[in-house]
């Protein structure tokens, strides 16, 4: 049977469920009657016929939408349960909302930090190098200026190497002070990531 024919039959089953169920029952009764006539024992005929309930379920699975019907039945059962215990319903819905919100936040953070490339030219070529110690519990440590210069002089595979150290600072001017994320960086940091400082770009633009 082709895919369109299968869909047409399933839709017909939704519209004429009674007819399909009636034809199935009539066909099973016919087969059991034939077996009873051959064996002369109606009870033995029913036993040899097999599990009639299983045949009904298998037929419904072929005709209809068993998975969707099961989901709809579960939803109806859940709604009835919530109506009987509204306090439990509120707790369950709140728990689901927190779980879904937390999962969405974690996936968004993972997508932004692990999947999406940084907004720099050739971002896929950027890499982070850090210094660590196997004798200490701290995996990542600060790199000294001497080590940084030694790496700059000895590197052969990297196009450029820059040093930076994140920290927080207070911006004070007119109005209330503002806490900002900042970083101490080597002079070639912007060239290494392929961008120019905003003030330098504005200065170049104003010189033309």
> Residue 25: inside a domain, yes or no?
yes
Q: Is residue 139 part of a domain?
A: yes
Q: Is residue 73 included in any domain, yes or no?
A: no
The reply to whether 109 and 127 lie within a common domain is no
The confidence score (pLDDT) of residue 194 equals 84
Tell me, yes or no, whether 127 and 178 share the same domain.
Answer: yes
Q: Which domain holds residue 135?
A: 123-207
C-alpha to C-alpha distance for 131 and 126, rounded to whole angstroms: 17
- Answer yes or no: do 18 and 47 share one domain: yes
For residue 77, being part of any structural domain is answered with: no
State residue 63's pLDDT score: 66
Structural domain contains residue 40: yes
Q: Is 29 inside a domain boundary?
A: yes
Indicate whether 54 belongs to any domain.
yes
Instruction: Specify whether 109 is located in the same domain as 141.
Output: no
Q: Are residues 106 and 135 in the same domain?
A: no
Q: In total, how many domains does the chain have?
A: 3
pTM confidence score:
0.38
What pLDDT is recorded for position 2? Answer: 62
Residues 159 and 197 in one domain: yes
137 lies in the same domain as 94: no
Check whether residue 100 and residue 53 sit in a common domain. no
- What residues does 168 pair with on adjacent strands? 181
Judgement on whether residues 93 and 34 belong to the same structural domain of the protein: no
Show pLDDT as tens, one digit a residue, over the chain (208 residues).
565 666 676 677 667 777 777 887 888 888 778 877 777 777 777 777 777 777 777 777 766 666 667 777 788 888 888 788 888 878 888 898 999 988 888 888 777 766 677 777 877 778 778 777 666 665 666 777 888 888 888 888 888 888 888 888 888 877 788 888 888 888 888 888 888 777 665 555 555 5
Per-residue confidence (pLDDT) for residue 134, from 0 to 100: 65
Cα 185 to chain centroid, rounded: 37
- Distance (Å, rounded) from C-alpha 79 to C-alpha 90? 12
Residue 194 falls inside a structural domain: yes
Question: What pLDDT sits at residue 3?
Answer: 58
- The secondary structure of residue 124, as a DSSP letter, is G
- Give me the residues paired with residue 182 across strands: 167
User: Same domain for 106 and 128?
Assistant: no
Same domain, 134 and 203: yes
Q: Is residue 127 domain-shared with residue 157, that is, in the same domain?
A: yes
């Amino acid at each position: 049977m082709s895919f369109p024919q299968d869909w047409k039959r399933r839709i017909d089953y939704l519209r004429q469920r009674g007819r399909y169920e009636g034809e199935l029952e009539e066909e099973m009764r016919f087969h059991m009657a034939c077996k009873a006539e051959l064996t002369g024992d109606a009870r033995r005929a029913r036993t040899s016929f097999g599990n009639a309930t299983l045949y009904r379920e298998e037929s419904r699975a072929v005709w209809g939408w068993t998975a969707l019907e099961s989901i709809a039945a579960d939803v109806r059962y859940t709604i009835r349960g919530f109506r009987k215990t509204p306090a439990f319903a509120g707790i369950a819905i709140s728990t689901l909302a927190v779980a879904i919100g937390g999962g969405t936040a974690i996936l968004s953070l993972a997508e932004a930090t692990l999947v999406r490339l940084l907004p720099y030219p050739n971002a896929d070529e950027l890499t982070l190098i850090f210094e660590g110690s196997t004798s200490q519990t701290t995996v990542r440590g600060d790199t000294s200026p001497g080590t940084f210069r030694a790496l700059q002089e000895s590197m052969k595979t990297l196009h450029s190497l820059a040093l930076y150290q994140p920290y927080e600072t207070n911006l004070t001017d007119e109005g209330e002070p503002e806490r900002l994320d900042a970083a101490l960086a080597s002079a070639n940091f912007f060239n290494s990531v392929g961008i120019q400082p905003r003030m330098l770009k504005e200065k170049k633009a104003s010189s033309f």
